[in-house]
């Protein structure tokens, strides 16, 4: 039986207010990427996420970002490598201190995209993850889109696992359509469910120009704060089950 991970970015409270229906999403996914305070979330939200994960059997991933709460981590910051590494290490330690059994790390927002091509910021992410890996006694995988970050992870002896997005538009070069542009967000539930099956079976996704993009993804992401995220997650689970695909974490 084929298997695929289904993850969502959760624990993203802003001023204590959730941006997603975390209770509903935790019941539908196999992995949760939890905000660590850089772009959203706080100690209380992290502890709540750990409790939900324990109750639902969901694997926990850390979701660190540029320290940019005002911009929800969606603005690229020109930070020195050492400064960024220190911020990311603090975020990872905060989630671990909240009781999380961290199984993987996935950068958030602008940082997620920056590390595909910017070596200094990719190194900052990898070095922060390597530091936590030493503390935990096991190599933590990094989840993301291919690029410089994958090479830096290999340098540090960390696994790199490719991800694909169910609710975001793709360009033919494998990058995402920027938010705010036409085709950036997918809202059709059945389209999202069909994309999940195609990715699980064939590892490919259709770009906005009709070309097929090979992803090799082992994990599929639904943003918890996307409109209709819970409905999408339910439809994805039904579609994958009907296609004989098991939903399970690879960590």
Distance CA 11, CA 212 (A): 33
Residue at 234 is within a domain? no
Residue at 74 is within a domain? yes
User: Nearest CA to 78 among 131, 41, 124, 42?
Assistant: 124
Residue at 191 is within a domain? no
The CATH number of the domain where 137 resides is what?
3.20.20.370
Q: Are strands 212-214 and 204-206 parallel, antiparallel or unpaired?
A: antiparallel
Per the prediction, the chain carries an average pLDDT of 97
What b/e readout covers 91-102, taking b as 16+ CB neighbours within 10 angstroms?
A: bbbbbbebebeb
Mean pLDDT of 174-193: 95
| CB-based contacts of 126, cutoff 8 Å, min separation 6 | 142, 149, 152, 153, 155, 156, 158
Mean pLDDT of 239-251: 97
pLDDT digits (tens, 9 = 90+) for 103-136: 999 999 999 999 999 999 999 999 999 999 999 9
Query: Is the pLDDT score of 1 beyond 70?
Result: no
pLDDT digits (tens, 9 = 90+) for 24-52: 999 999 999 999 999 999 999 999 999 99
pLDDT digits (tens, 9 = 90+) for 65-75: 999 999 999 99
Instruction: Give the range of the structural domain holding residue 97, as residue numbers without chain letter.
Output: 2-167+218-224
Distance CA 74, CA 194 (A): 28
pLDDT digits (tens, 9 = 90+) for 135-174: 999 999 999 999 999 999 999 999 999 999 999 999 999 9
Neighbours of 179 (CB within 10 A): 11
Q: What is the pTM of this model?
A: 0.96
Query: Is the pLDDT score of 81 beyond 80?
Result: yes
- Give me the pLDDT at residue 240, please: 98
3-state DSSP assignment of residue 184: coil
Residue at 182 is within a domain? no
Q: Count of domains in the chain?
A: 1
Residue at 206 is within a domain? no
User: Nearest CA to 8 among 16, 214, 20?
Assistant: 20
Residue at 30 is within a domain? yes
Distance CA 51, CA 228 (A): 24
Neighbours of 212 (CB within 10 A): 14
- Give me the pLDDT at residue 133, please: 98
Q: Kind and range of the H or E element at 131?
A: helix 119-136
CA distances from 23 to 26, 112, 155, 248 (A): 5, 25, 38, 19
Residue at 193 is within a domain? no
Identify the residue whose tokens are 């790390």: 105
Query: Is the pLDDT score of 183 beyond 70?
Result: yes
pLDDT digits (tens, 9 = 90+) for 207-231: 999 999 999 999 999 999 998 999 9
Q: How many residues does the chain have?
A: 251
Task: Tell me the angle at which helices 148-155 and 119-136 cross, rounded to the nearest 10 degrees.
Answer: 40
Distance CA 88, CA 108 (A): 11
Residue at 235 is within a domain? no
């Amino acid at each position: 039986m084929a298997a695929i991970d289904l993850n969502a970015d959760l624990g993203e409270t802003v001023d204590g207010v959730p941006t997603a229906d975390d209770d509903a999403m935790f019941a539908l996914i196999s992995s949760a990427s939890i905000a660590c305070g850089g772009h959203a979330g706080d100690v209380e939200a992290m502890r709540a996420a750990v409790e939900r994960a324990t109750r639902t059997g969901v694997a926990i991933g850390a979701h660190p970002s540029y320290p940019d709460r005002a911009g929800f981590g969606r603005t690229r910051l020109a930070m020195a490598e050492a400064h960024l590494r220190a911020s990311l290490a603090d975020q990872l330690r905060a989630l671990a201190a909240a009781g999380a059994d961290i199984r993987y790390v996935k950068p958030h927002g602008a940082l997620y995209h920056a590390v595909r091509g910017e070596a200094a910021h990719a190194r900052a992410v990898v070095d922060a993850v390597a530091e936590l890996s030493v503390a935990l006694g096991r190599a933590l995988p990094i989840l993301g889109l291919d690029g410089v970050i994958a090479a830096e992870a290999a340098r540090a002896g960390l696994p790199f696992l490719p991800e694909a997005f169910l609710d975001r538009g793709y360009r033919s070069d494998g990058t995402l359509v920027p938010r705010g542009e036409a085709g950036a967000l997918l809202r059709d539930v059945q389209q999202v469910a069909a994309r999940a099956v195609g990715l699980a079976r064939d590892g490919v996704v259709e770009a906005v120009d009709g070309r097929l993009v090979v992803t090799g993804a082992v994990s599929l992401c639904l943003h918890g704060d996307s409109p209709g995220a819970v409905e999408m997650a339910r439809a994805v689970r039904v579609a994958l089950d009907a296609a004989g695909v098991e939903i399970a974490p690879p960590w």
